[in-house]
Structure 1
Amino acid sequence: MVARGLRYIIALGQVLRLAGPHMRLSGSHRLKRPKPLFGKLLCFGKPPLFGKSLRFGIAVALLCPLLTPAPAAAQLILQGAQPQMLKRQPPGESKRPARPGAAGGSSVRSATSHGLAQRPAVVTPTGPAVAGRFAEPTLFGTDLYLNGNGSSLKLTRAGNGVSAELKLAGRAIGSPDQLCQVDMASTGSLLALGSPDGLPRYRIDAPVCPIDLDVMDDAVIANGPDGGACTFTQAQCRAEVTGLWGPKGTSLGPKVRDIERERGRADAALRDVFRQVLARARGPEVTREAAEQAGFSSRRSMQCANYVAEDSHGFCNTRLTQARVAGLRARLSPQATAEARAQTPRPAAAAAQ
């Protein structure tokens, strides 16, 4: 009975030894244990090998897993658990990153030496997403039309300055049913007023009809006298001048997709810059800025409703939004901030100190 029990103990030891299979991540190396004949005879021999001593049998049962080798078992290689080996640099490749403008795309940090896959560099736009530059090939010498039709404006270079030529379509004074036209041309260069609202501004300094022109790439925002119209008494004609002057509305069909992309960027830029304006505002300035922004949205809707085919292309909405962004960014400039602080009246208590 004792011998049979020891046999069961030995068998149990073998089962426990085989229950833990070897799990390797790679099969490049495997340690092999020696296969001594003594272990086989001791563990699998007949009972007379170790007699009827219970202590000796228990010791043999515990030592048998160490004295006998395990039978060969299939190695389990877990998918995804294999070690990542570093890729070797091909002999002909350079470890230097690609130079900007070279073949293969933008410049990225070299990762080949670390065995990592290269990713294209992400370029984040840093400049304003609005128009507002002088683009002589598209603006100068091109006819621009008020609200995409009717009165026309042409800006040209005049030496180091800019000259303007207008053909204003209006209605006869006292007879609104009759149409009239007034031609205006600057005798010299327009008066340059800098960029107070972020866009180059020029003035047609005519006593009968002074007009301020904020110049963009392919459009001009004009602001005339109070009421938005000029009255020419001698010609008995009254003509509207305030509004957006741009290409004919019926000619913008092929550019609809480009305008839509520009509008999306302009709307995003407006939200971003307006948040910055509100962050700098203090006290009642917050309410004033919010009211001004709401007023701009209302004026834009009313003004662009007059642009020909605006519902089809959205050109007017896009350009006025871009101009608004340029104005708010100019307001956030360090120089404008310093001037605003200088003009802010100090409280009486602070002034007394």
Structure 2
Amino acid sequence: MFLPVSEKVSTIKARPSRVAAGALLVFAGLTVVPTTPARAQNFFEELFGIGRAARPPQPPRNVPVQPPPQQPVDPAAPAPGDGAETRPSVPAPPRQPVVLRVPAEDNVAGQELLLNGLNGSLKIERNGSAYTALMSLPGTKISQPTESCTVKLNGGKPVSLSAEGRAQGVSRFSASSAECPLRLEILDGSVLATPLGSGPACTFTAADCETTPSGLWGPGAASLIPQAGEFDTARGVADKAVRDNYKIMTQRSRGSDVRPIVQEQAAFSSDREQACRTYAREGAHGYCHLRFTEARAIALATRLGANTATPTASNTAPRPRRSRAPVEGMNPDAPGAEPFADQ
């Protein structure tokens, strides 16, 4: 079917008018868009659904919200925290003192000990339940302080020792000598001597000799150096025992009672350094520091009421196992061996 020429011309003329109308609509839409960047951004967010249009609808304010329905509770069911699965809270047990092995009172009987491992002589003998001591005290001459001297206690005769119990954990004895009364504390392989007179020195006028017997009487340095490794291990155990017992004592004390304990602990460290600095080659083996520290740990445990008869820590280093020497003929794989020689 063909249109007349006049109708074709009218159709062609109508198309430009439609294009112009569409352009006017686009221009009108652009004139509505805000000119500022923020408003333009909001317009495009609303246009593409990424602005407020994408947010979920908010409920109106001041409208009560219905709580979710609760599940019915079974009256026979145990309440939370009850039942067989609940374990009662058990308070932590109080810290107990650390107890080291207490030396036997006769562990030094028959041994000859030296003052600071250098000179003098102390030998304790046991006769049944009684103990005696033979002592030679080193010192300096009163008339010539630059010259050394040695005087025998009680004229070289055995001095009776009186037992004084274990007030500080270790065995104590007293030597009632008129010239030089002493208190002897029995440590492990050594004896700690303390003068009971008015001062640290004992004067023997007839012998023109002044002695200072206070200190640790123990073995010589030559026999201690090979055991330096064992002493170092035991010293670590003893130091820890002193720290733990000291902490327990301060925790059990109240207010004003703590200060004397702190001062006593500081005095112990100072006294140990002063007493052990004169021991023969102390820096090479540490024997004196070890024995002083063990005595301090035992004394603290005793004051804390611990049972010192049952040690809770071992301050004795384990001895290394002796390697067995190879037996000839027992290893068939050894060079030159003939395992089937006797067959």
TM-score range, shorter chain: 0.5 to 0.7
**Secondary structure, counterpart of 2:150 in structure 1:** strand
Q: Distance in 2 between matches of 1:128 and 1:186?
A: 38
Cα distance, 1:217 vs structure 2: 2.3
**Hey, what's the Cα distance between the residues in 1 that align with 2:115 and 2:203?**
17
Contact map agreement 1:145 1:247 (CA 8 A) in 2: yes
Matched, 1:253 2:225: yes
The 2-side partners of 1:223 and 1:157 are apart by: 21
The answer to whether structure 1 residue 214 and structure 2 residue 214 are counterparts is: no
Q: 1:300 and 2:235 equivalent?
A: no
Shift of 1:216: 1.6
Pick 1 or 2: higher relative contact order, CA cutoff 8 A, min separation 6. 2
Shift of 1:143: 0.8
In our comparison, the structure showing a higher alpha carbon Rg is: 2
* Deviation for aligned residue 1:334: 7.5
Q: Show the 5 A alignment for 1:161-176.
A: 161-176=130-145
2:237 pairs with one of 244, 258, 265:
265
Q: Secondary structure at the match of 1:198?
A: coil
State the 1:321 CA deviation. 0.5
Aligned twin of 1:230: 202
Q: What letter corresponds to residue 114 of structure 2 in structure 1?
A: Y
Which of 124, 138, 150 is the aligned partner of 1:181?
150
What letter corresponds to residue 308 of structure 1 in structure 2? A
Equivalent position amino acid for 2:263 in 1: A
1:86-165 to 2 correspondence within 5 Å?
Answer: 128-136=99-107, 139-165=108-134
2:297 aligned with 1:328: no
Return the alpha-carbon distance in structure 1 between the equivalents of residues 157 and 264 of structure 2. Answer: 34
1:317 pairs with 2:289: yes
Letter in 1 for 2:194: N
**Count of paired positions:** 209
8 Å contact from structure 1 (residues 132, 326) kept in 2: no
Letter paired with 1:181: T
Could you tell me which of 199, 219, 228 is aligned with 2:170?
Answer: 199
Question: Quick check: 2:98–2:301 contact (8 Å CA) kept in 1?
Answer: no
Identity %: 37
Give the deviation of 1:196 after TM superposition.
Answer: 1.2
1:277 to 211, 231, 249: 249
Distance 1:191 1:245, change over 3 A: same
Secondary structure class of the residue paired with 1:148: coil
After TM superposition, give the deviation of residue 227 of structure 1 in Å: 3.2
Please, what TM-score do these two structures have when normalized by structure 2?
0.58
Deviates more, 1:149-158 or 1:178-187: 178-187
Distance 1:263 1:334 in 2: 21
Distance 1:263 1:291, change over 3 A: same
Write the deviation string for residues 203-240 of structure 1: whole angstroms up to 9, x where unpaired: 10012100000002201111013432211111111111
Structure 1 SS opposite 2:140: strand
Q: Quote how far apart the aligned CAs of 1:250 are.
A: 2.8
Offset, 1:158: 2.2
Flag the 1:214–1:244 CA change in 2: closer, same or farther, 3 A: same
How many Å apart are 1:315 and its aligned residue? 0.4
Contact preservation (8 Å) 1:152, 1:168: yes
Alignment-mate amino acid for residue 195 of structure 1: R
The residue type equivalent to 1:169 in the other structure is P
What one-letter code is carried by the residue in structure 2 that aligns with 1:143?
Answer: E
Q: Which string of whole-angstrom CA distances, capped at 9 and with x for unpartnered residues, describes residues 121-155 of structure 1?
A: xxxxx97334422354xx11111111111111111
1:298, distance to aligned residue in structure 2 (A): 0.8
Write the distance in 2 (CA, Å) between the matches of 1:131 and 1:196. 13
Partner Cα separation in structure 1 for residue 112 and residue 306 of structure 2:
36
Shift of 1:333: 1.6
Counterpart Cα distance in 2 of 1:158 and 1:135:
11
Structure 2: state its 5+ residue gaps: 1-96, 308-343
- Show CA shifts across 1:140-185 (max 9, x none): 1111111111111111102311110011111111310122111125
Task: State TM-score, norm by structure 1.
Answer: 0.56
Q: SS of the counterpart of 2:173?
A: strand
- Unaligned runs of 5+ residues in structure 1 are 1-125, 336-353
Give me the CA root mean square deviation. Answer: 2.1
Q: Describe the superposition over 1:319-348 as per-residue Cα deviations: whole angstroms up to 9, x where unpaired.
A: 00011111111211279xxxxxxxxxxxxx
| CA distance in 2: counterparts of 1:187 and 1:246, whole angstroms | 19
Alpha-carbon spacing, 1:160–1:135, altered in 2? closer, same or farther (3 Å)? closer
Distance 1:202 1:257, change over 3 A: same
Q: Distance in 2 between matches of 1:303 and 1:190?
A: 24
Secondary structure in 2 matching 1:228? coil
Q: Is the 8 A contact 1:250 1:308 kept in 2?
A: no
Distance 2:105 2:160 in 1: 16
Q: Distance in 2 between matches of 1:134 and 1:201?
A: 8
**How has the CA–CA distance of structure 1 residues 188 and 242 changed in structure 2, closer, same or farther, with 3 Å as cutoff?**
closer
8 Å CA contact 2:98, 2:244 repeated in 1: no
